């Protein structure tokens, strides 16, 4: 199995200005000078983390999806990040997984951040996404999902090699971000990536970044501070398989079923 080259962009988000944010990200991505398989952008990267969904939600086939398609085709890479989407009468914090051929999958954020009223505006997703890309299985999640280890669990029904979180994670909870990313990597025996934003939004909320890439032992491969930056690294398949062979802890994981409102939720 081949290695996987991954890139992420940590940037400041211009509040409620999708065109400006797409232009900024285009410039950052242009600075990625090597071929890459995956480009990861933050949560709500086109608008900032806003509850004004009625004003800023895009249709399913909206301009940001079109931009992601162009970028994916140009770079021959999957492009992913979350966008406010209006679909069949509901608003979603929707992660788009856009392939070079223009096809895409999506994941709707499961855990909505009630302390900001997100659960009152957006509809929660009901199914996790695990995508296979160039020989790797990848599970993309969104921000607050990081706090819920059951939803993030690397299980036998939907195993993955790379767990990633796109986020708008405030500086006030920086310790939780750093600690939980490391915990998710260790407990799931998977490479783990967290991609955050930086700067101050118009709600007065500061973001310190701290985007990171960790290996399956919870060791940092990349750790950035609060600067705007784009990072590219290659994940080694042989290292992952060798560690899982030496330390197969997932074979002893507890079995469980996840139910919400009496309904079985598929992982």
Residue 82 to residue 90: CA distance in whole angstroms: 16
Q: Is 139 a catalytic residue?
A: no
Strand 78-87 versus strand 38-40 pairing type = parallel
Distances (CA, A) of 151 to 131, 223, 258: 16, 25, 8
Catalytic hit among 109, 118, 139, 197: 109
Cα atoms in the 13 Å half-sphere on the side-chain side of 170: 12
Catalytic hit among 58, 131, 139, 143: 143
Residue 228 to residue 198: CA distance in whole angstroms: 7
81 backbone dihedrals φ, ψ, rounded to 5°: 170, 170
Q: Is 43 a catalytic residue?
A: yes
Strand 4-10 versus strand 191-195 pairing type = unpaired
DSSP string, 211-237: -EEE-TTS-EEEE--SS-EEEEEEE-H
Residue 4 to residue 233: CA distance in whole angstroms: 8
Catalytic hit among 43, 58, 118, 131: 43
236-251 burial, b at 16+ Cβ within 10 Å, e below that, comes to eeeebeeebeeeeebe
What's the distance, Cα to Cα, between the start and end of the chain in Å? 25
Q: Is 197 a catalytic residue?
A: no
Residue 37 to residue 100: CA distance in whole angstroms: 10
Return the active site residues: 43, 109, 143
């Amino acid at each position: 199995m081949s290695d996987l080259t991954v890139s992420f962009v940590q940037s400041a988000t211009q509040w409620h200005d999708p065109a400006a944010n797409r232009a900024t990200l285009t410039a950052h991505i242009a600075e990625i000078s090597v071929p890459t398989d995956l480009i990861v952008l933050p949560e709500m990267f086109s608008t900032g983390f806003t509850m004004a969904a009625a004003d800023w939600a895009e249709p399913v086939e909206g301009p940001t999806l079109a931009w992601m398609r162009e970028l994916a085709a140009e770079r021959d890479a999957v492009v992913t990040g979350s966008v406010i989407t209006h679909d069949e009468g509901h608003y979603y914090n929707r992660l788009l997984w856009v392939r070079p051929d223009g096809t895409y999958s999506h994941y709707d954020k499961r855990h909505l951040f009630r302390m900001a009223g997100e659960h009152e505006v957006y509809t929660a997703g009901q199914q996790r996404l695990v995508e296979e890309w160039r020989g790797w299985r990848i599970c993309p999640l969104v921000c607050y999902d990081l706090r819920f280890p059951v939803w993030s669990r690397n299980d036998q029904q939907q195993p993955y090699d790379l767990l990633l979180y796109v986020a708008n994670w405030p500086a006030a909870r920086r310790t939780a971000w750093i600690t939980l990313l490391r915990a998710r990597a260790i407990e799931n025996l998977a490479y783990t990536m967290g991609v955050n934003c930086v700067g101050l939004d118009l709600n007065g909320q500061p973001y310190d970044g701290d985007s990171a890439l960790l290996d399956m032992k919870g060791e940092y491969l990349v750790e950035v501070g609060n600067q705007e930056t784009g990072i590219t690294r290659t994940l080694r398949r042989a290292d992952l398989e060798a560690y899982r062979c030496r330390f197969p802890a997932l074979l002893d994981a507890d079995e469980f079923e996840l139910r919400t409102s009496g309904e079985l939720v598929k992982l």
